Amino acid sequence: MPPHRRPRRGRPLRSRLPPEVRRVNTLLDRPVPAAAAALTLRRGAARVLLDNWTGSSTVPSRTLYPHQWSWDSAFIAIGLRHLSARRAQQELESLLAAQWADGRVPHIVFNDAVPADAYFPSPDFWRSSRAGGAAGAPANRETSGIVQPPVHALAAWLVHCADPAESRRRGFLARVHPRLVAWHDYLLTRRDLGGDGLVSVVHPWEPGMDNSPAWDRALGRVEPTAPDTFRRADLDHGQPADRPTDLDYGRYVRLATDYRDAGYDDRAADHRFAVEDPAFNALLVVSELALAETARELGLPGAPHTERADRLTRRLVDRLWDDTTGVFRVRDLHDRSLVDERSITGLVPLIIPGLPPEIVQRLSRALHGPHFTSPATRLIPSYDLTGHAFAPHRYWRGPAWFNTAWLIERGLRTHGLHGDAARLRQGFLADAGRTGFAEYLDPLSGEARGARHFSWTAALTLDLLCADDADPKEPRP
């Protein structure tokens, strides 16, 4: 046999594997600043993200949520940065590629390869490329027409911080910065429906906490679409006891239909549901601070974003803080009154660095009080345990979620409450591993509910495994 045809003796088995398999193994084996006992948890979380990867983005769940979701992708990118900064960048860039010309980032980007009946409302319902043409919907991608919380600028900055050299080499921040600025501009102009400087949401799906009792009063004004006129695909994969009722789902469909028929025009639509949500606005504050850091990294002035964050913080406190109960509340723009419900959205503003110290203290007390102290998990229930509408299994009406726990853990660290942050972090990691990275938990029993192998649970597990109370890579206000 000629020398050039001889097999290479001793060639490592790994080098014979297909490239994609080699990349997967490399991601799983990459060193990480975590104790040896956490290695199994880390590998399990990484496996969820790799299994849910579609080639350009990550689905929340292969069964229940087979497309790309907006704030899910932001959370996923935050975790992916610990495996591959390049893939985390791609997660965000694929989402922003479907941004509308008016600046909105749609809450779903549909995968053409997924059957139309796999999820409802489907692309045929939203008709974004036709109904949203005047608002600048992309002609070559089908999306929804509503939005989700603006976590994206925070995610982009954290992804950059994970590997600044790779980010600069690829021009990542330079590409996403103008899109993120346009996204925030859309929210602060087209969505200031109350005229007082806060962003309004026009559908219960927009705050991401779809079925919260905080929306019930406003939803009561909406005439539901008859349930026999649409088919709920979510019930094919989720327990009916966990999901919104047919009555509520009919109201969701009615609101989305009316918005679509108005061409997704925020000024022309008759918004029968319009509320100012504390968590949504708090995440915009934090993302404005991240945009300030991004601008400085690019040699641009960061002060305009810092000033906007300061104004938003003042307005959030002035308009949505309830000093009687010690939590933030939703404001219903129909009569401009605060909604008399305690929910997780009223605690998420703890993530804002510039929150007045006395409010930080009150929120900390609320976290330890009877309304939000779960007997079976350190995660925080999504709704008041003593509330009239509390339901431990039903979507956002009581269950404890991992993404809101991550936000609050970050808020605790931001304000120097490191002991509380560490306890929440430890509980998060224990529950994530114990439940197979469940979507959410029953706060009374600790039972896993919703989808398993859920992407943001896995991603945020990776992030908390690497969390440090004094991480120098974190953005500073």
Q: Which residues are catalytic?
A: 210, 439
Q: Is 430 helix (H, G, I), strand (E, B) or coil?
A: helix
Copy the structure tokens of residue 66. Answer: 């087979």
**DSSP labels, 351-410:** G-TT--HHHHHHHHHHHHSTTT--SS-SSPBSB-TTSTT--SSSTTSS-EEHHHHHHHHH
Token pair for 160: 């950059």
d(CA 292, CA 289): 5
Q: How far apart are CA 140 and CA 98, in angstroms?
A: 9
- The dihedral region occupied by 84, where left means phi > 0, alpha psi between -120 and 50, and beta the remainder, is beta
Q: How far apart are CA 249 and CA 255, in angstroms?
A: 10
Q: What's the token pair of residue 439?
A: 């979507």
Six token digits for residue 427: 């509980």
- The secondary structure of residue 245, as a DSSP letter, is P
**Alpha-carbon distance values, 172 to 6, 95, 159, 165, 336 (Å):** 44, 14, 9, 10, 41
